[in-house]
Amino acid sequence: CVELIIDPLLIFSTYSGSTADNWGSTATPGEHGTLYSAGVTQQTLGGFFPATVGAFQTANRGSFDIGIIKYDSAGTKFLYATYLGGINNDSPESLVVDKTSGDLIVLGISSSPDFPTSANAFDKTFNLGTTIFNRVLNTDDEWDIVITRLSQNGGQLVGSTFLGGSGNEGLNHPKQSGGPLVVNYGDEMRGDVITDETGHVYISSVTSSDNFPIVDGFDDTFNGATDGLVAKLAPDLSSIVWSSYLGGSGFDAAYSIKFDKDKNIVLAGGTTSVDFPATAGSYQSVFNGIVDGWIARVASDGSAIMNATFTGTISFDQVYFIDLNANGNVFCYGQT
């Protein structure tokens, strides 16, 4: 036999080049080996985020803004760098490049009533919420989900919308507010976004709103302190195709989202709900204790939960990321 040696090659590694307070939250590959990163930046004490000429937003508008950078394939230059935000605090949670258009889709949360939205946005109005402490940003704010589509060159806002109800969206309750799902730095802000071959946008997240805009989903009833959330939106973010709560009577959140080969939606997250809708015959149909991870498969039209299982022990467990291989097997990554 021949010994196989896997020697990973580092293509590039670089600082962002910002002298402002600046840290990363998410990244995604782009076309032809390019790379996108997103985080938050705060222009304090003369700090400078290197926004590029022609970018959609070249100046900081509030306290923390989202900072997005697109690198060339060698990591030697910025193809663009832009702020994205309003007068208060804004933070990204996930990025994906839409393969149909080459646009960058940004999933984040915002406390800014003037967060930039598009003319035909599903919701151009910030929906307020309940003031809550965000341990990551060290701020007290009310939060909405925001979803933005930026052109490939970073110069145009193709679509952008608020998404929320009268509670907070996109933010897990922190420890200081009794949130049992948060144990690590950054756990407050977990969510995911993907697109399909027609450019439709799908998100997984969390909500505290009993009046979140639910459209043709399998569950239109808010069930606990927080519920997981899954939604499909039009490519230009002008409408919700379908959306649904996902959870039980405790704390629930959805962190990761993928497609299976039949374009059904596979989701994963964490729960304290003994009545989370696990299905009969699943790997683990009974809640085991404290916090359990969960995995669920939802029909492509959002009409039903096809399969759902807990995965956990008598201690603390959550699933943060999932993926599927060519055979359709589901792989999960988390914490126990």
Which has the closest alpha carbon to 174: 253, 246, 234?
Answer: 253
- Give the torsion through C-alpha atoms of 120, 125, 131, 137, to 10 deg: 40
144 within 8 A of 162, measured Cβ to Cβ:
yes
The pTM assigned to this predicted structure is 0.96
pLDDT tens sequence for the chain (336 residues):
778 777 788 889 998 888 888 889 999 999 999 999 999 999 877 789 999 999 999 999 989 999 999 999 999 999 999 999 999 999 999 999 999 999 999 999 999 999 999 999 999 999 999 999 998 999 999 999 999 999 999 999 999 999 999 999 999 999 888 899 999 999 999 999 999 999 999 999 999 999 999 999 999 999 999 999 999 999 999 999 999 999 999 999 999 999 999 999 999 999 999 999 999 999 999 999 999 999 999 999 999 999 999 999 999 999 999 999 999 999 999 999
Model pLDDT, residue 206 = 98
Q: Can you give the pLDDT at residue 245? A: 98
Calculate the alpha carbon distances from 179 to 254, 282, 334 in Å.
15, 27, 18
Residue 305 neighbours by CB distance under 10 Å? 18
Task: Tell me the C-alpha distance between 31 and 193, whole Å.
Answer: 18
What does the alpha-carbon distance between residue 105 and residue 79 come to, in Å, rounded to a whole number? 17
Strand arrangement of the beta sheet that strand 192-195 belongs to:
192-195, 201-207, 227-233, 240-246
